[in-house]
Chain A
């Protein structure tokens, strides 16, 4: 076998190990879905009447607000799931098993690749589950074409990949799982100050640029545009730039830490 097929084979082995963990301990993954689902139900059924007054220049009803909020909730789900990845990576790195892998003739990057691919797959599965809840309470896309659905799916996967690389870096930088969980906290807080729940335009002027240009808002606006036909504008490029930037940063950060001598 050449080195590429060895790299693929070892990465696949590591991925299977990660998925086996997720399969054996589903509650670890499912717990991470609670926050976005609670947020969805809370904002729709408890705050819904007030919130819907803020969109579409007022006069929107509950189903309009569901349509508005679901894209943001889906990307919040990604943020929540990758917090789990940060905790998991930090747990794994402190285990002796990783030291064993390092003394074996396996492809060095396979451990990291296994974590990254595993986390992206989990994020996508989580988004599908939360999306199903959204559909159950009445979310419908307004005549999105097959191509738009595909693009929406691709955007979610790319966004998951970007946040995952950052989360893996955080997991490696943390001395223990608690620290990893704290460090990754912004990944679930950022959606709260994005256009997920209310349009950025309704926020105070000084705060608006922060809300508009942080990574979640362009991605949410793009997803909204793909599923609901709203204006995407420059948000598509912004979202893409954020994803590529975060992937590059997270990749450099994670591999640099992984290749350092372990303590």
Chain B
């Protein structure tokens, strides 16, 4: 029969390690296809870590391995102070997982799903009811609690999914694309909930396609591409990795555009849109010098926007072999 339940007490070298999740040389391939090619991670307890990467980069695979769902081919992996390969049951007792695809029981009600989780966490009946009611309330599912989950919308299922993950009050939580498919309000609610978890000292490992989400939530971000971590750091550190800051001038009058383009050097022209991009770090001094230059040649731009590199730039620069796709319109920051 499958392995039996292990005691959940913390073991190891006696002291509580401050590393929640660590991986050294994590490798995994599916048949011929190498998906993770020696990943190293070090995630301090109580922090939010975001794993970014294009579709098929291996984010879900990394989550599945660290959450004991599938085995790695190689690597030293520790979660919550326990060796993932040697003592998966102890890891399971420490974590909560919300996978990329919904993991709810569609045939029963939302409340029954919550009580099922409470039973599996061996809460007593009263405690189980209390926790279920509290989480249903927190995730705005009270009205739907008595309805079969198969009648829920995608966003409601997603919220129930996370609520179920929180039943055992896990100290380490894996969230694989937690806000995919949520409307903007639900997304911001989800962010608030995640921040709330973090303020309680929970460690969050999240993957996401939304770069602003990583920017908003994560203490540290790693970019996964081609099975390797190609960059890791805070959002600010990552943004510094790529050039891309520029000032954009737009004209409506073609002659003004033409004379500005002739006068300014080092510009990238977009003749169709009558706009010019000038590389710049967006500092006050550089802006003033650009304005002075424009004044001195006597042209007036109709619109001036400052672009600082954002995580999108980082993402494109790091994950598509350096080919930054042409992005004609982008908001000023």
Contact = CB atoms under 8 A, between A and B. Distances in A.
- Check if A and B associate: yes
Interface of A: 1, 3, 6-7, 9-10, 13, 16-17, 20-21, 24-25, 95-97, 99-109, 255, 258-259, 261-262
Interface in B77-98: 89-90, 92-93, 95, 97
B120 A261 contact: no
Contacts of B1: 108-109, 255
A138 to B, nearest CB: 39
Interface in B42-91: 67-71, 89-90
Interface in B115-152: 116, 119-122, 148
B108 A21 contact: yes
B103 A100 contact: yes
A107 B95 contact: no
Given A25-B107, A103-B95, A262-B70, A20 B2 contact: no
Given A6-B122, A10-B120, A17-B108, A97 B2 contact: no
Contacts of A24: 107-108, 148
A129 to B, nearest CB: 22
Contacts of A99: 69, 99, 103
A107 B164 contact: no
Contacts of A104: 92, 120-121, 168
Nearest to A25: B107
Given A24-B108, A261-B70, A105 B2 contact: no
Given A6-B4, A104-B92, 8 more contacts: A1-B122, A16-B119, A20-B107, A96-B99, A96-B104, A105-B89, A106-B120, A262-B69
Given A103-B97, A255-B2, A13 B107 contact: no
B3 interface: yes
B102 interface: yes
B232 interface: no
B199 interface: no
Contact of A21 (B71, B97, B107): B107
Nearest to A9: B122
Which of B5, B6, B99, B108 is packed against the most chain A CB atoms within 10 Å? B5
Nearest to B108: A20
Chain B interface size range: 35 or more
A101 B120 contact: yes
B103 A7 contact: no
B108 A106 contact: no
Given A107-B5, A108-B3, A102 B89 contact: no
Contacts of A95: 103, 105-106
Main secondary structure of the interface of B (DSSP, over half): loop
Contact of A259 (B2, B107, B119, B120): B2
Contacts of B93: 105
A107 B92 contact: no
B259 interface: no
B210 interface: no
Contacts of B3: 108
A104 B95 CA distance: 8
B101 interface: yes
Q: Ordered nearest first, which 9 A-B pairs have the shortest CB separation?
A: A108-B2, A96-B103, A100-B103, A105-B93, A105-B92, A3-B4, A13-B119, A261-B70, A6-B5
B77 to A, nearest CB: 14
A149 B104 CA distance: 43
A109 B2 contact: yes
A95 B97 CA distance: 15
B245 to A, nearest CB: 42
Contact of B112 (A20, A25, A101, A108): A20
B31 to A, nearest CB: 12
B268 interface: no
